[in-house]
Chain A
């Protein structure tokens, strides 16, 4: 590596460190603002309506100690729902993109209708139709995630650079070779990017589905807290869910940084 390249690398590393520090400061500030708001709420409302931060924290610890199995169950459900929705959504999106005039033509309107159905409808219908809670919760999350992933991948395939395709087609590849060389990696970028929004959304709907249609999981424990009018516990589970969401986004971020390392991100001065 030349000294100019080394200097450039050092500069980029310093910029990355600076960005990480700024992000951490941003989060610290956001947490401080929330703590202040909670304390203001606590001092202006009765404690049974608005608990203090210390109460919320002690309930968080208690929830983690006593109901960790429910948290684990929610995480397992989330992973399973996301995994199936991701894989099938990816496959469907790819097929829609590769065979636009057949699969794409039929699947797109179906997915658009599925997407327009409110999550609450899925939850209520599944709760009445399906007796088995695991299948019920999975179906709700899966039916929410699948169209989002499939459409995102489909858009990715449609967004393929025509010039790049021309460059590959000079070697006269088969349709499967084009799929493997171009479409699969290109769609993967879109899949990974959409994972950020879809997983957060699925997590929120999963908790709601558990609240209405399951006796286990974080949602069910939140339902118990609501029945017992236990506000500190509702806040505690909310904190746990926010942390879980951040952990999930952090993992996606690591995957993105590793798998999309070939991308050069541009920064506006």
Chain B
């Protein structure tokens, strides 16, 4: 990583304990501006705990967490509008239209009404939902709802986007479509992102760097995606098997 690049996420030797249970142990991780990092690991590997640390829902037992230079837990409000998140389920507000849902973050950030409207419409256009602005979530398909959720996270143009299994509940064709959409949007505004997934192929499609987490959350191995076989190739099948064995091996050890 070149030292001139601005660090957006800095997790420094972090440990999280819940009574006697160790969820994260001595984890260190840095993400530079514009970088996309994927976290791979089995259930219970501490992926959600890591997300909670970055969002500021949780304070580390030991170590330091910084997002855009601020401590997400103790400087909670300092990070207002600087972190966007898309979840496994779209979590749209059911009584708001697609437009109303995308406006949500902008409204909380107290942007002017005109700006809210303009920006939300622009982002809905970006995710190809320009004609669905007035539809309620109950009138949208699963893929469309997830697009709205992505637009909502991007609309505030945060410093960091967190994806928590955001495409795992969708069928493969829709998920592939949305992954492309996500990559296009990230490239457009040089977005820094942390993608939590259990899908090995997805991790290598979306990220520049893939981090394999073992239990309790500690880095087993880091891969630079461009140096590994490309997803969809025959070589990737064998490579995926190797990673799979590493994850399973760590879990059973």
- Enumerate chain A interface residues (CB-CB to B < 8 A): 163-164, 166-168, 170-173, 177, 181-182, 185, 189, 260-264
Name the CB-closest residue of A to B80.
A172
Contact A168 B81 (CB under 8 A): no
Contact A263 B94 (CB under 8 A): yes
Q: Mark B143-167, 1 if CB is under 8 A from A, else 0.
A: 0000001000100100000000000
Query: Is B138 an interface residue, CB under 8 A from the partner?
Result: yes
The minimal Cβ–Cβ distance linking B107 to chain A, given in whole angstroms, is 7
Name the CB-closest residue of B to A1.
B131
A264-B137 Cα distance, complex, nearest whole Å: 10
A260-B95 Cα distance, complex, nearest whole Å: 8
Please, which residues of chain A bring their CB within 8 A of the CB of B95? 185, 189, 260, 262
Name the CB-closest residue of A to B149.
A167
Which residues, 54 to 103 on B, are CB-close (under 8 Å) to A? 55, 76-77, 79-81, 83-85, 87, 89, 91-97
Also in contact, A171 and B94, with CB within 8 A (given A262-B136, A262-B138, A264-B138): no
The minimal Cβ–Cβ distance linking A168 to chain B, given in whole angstroms, is 7
Total number of residue pairs linking A and B with CB closer than 8 Å: 59
Please, which residues of chain A bring their CB within 8 A of the CB of B138? 262-264
Contact B93 A181 (CB under 8 A): yes
Please, which residues of chain B bring their CB within 8 A of the CB of A168? 93, 104, 108
The minimal Cβ–Cβ distance linking B203 to chain A, given in whole angstroms, is 22
Query: Is B105 an interface residue, CB under 8 A from the partner?
Result: yes
A189-B84 Cα distance, complex, nearest whole Å: 28
Query: Is B109 an interface residue, CB under 8 A from the partner?
Result: yes
Which of A170, A173, A264 has the largest count of B CB atoms less than 10 A from its CB? A170
Task: Name the one of A167, A172, A173, A263 contacting B87, with C-beta atoms under 8 angstroms.
Answer: A167
The minimal Cβ–Cβ distance linking B183 to chain A, given in whole angstroms, is 21
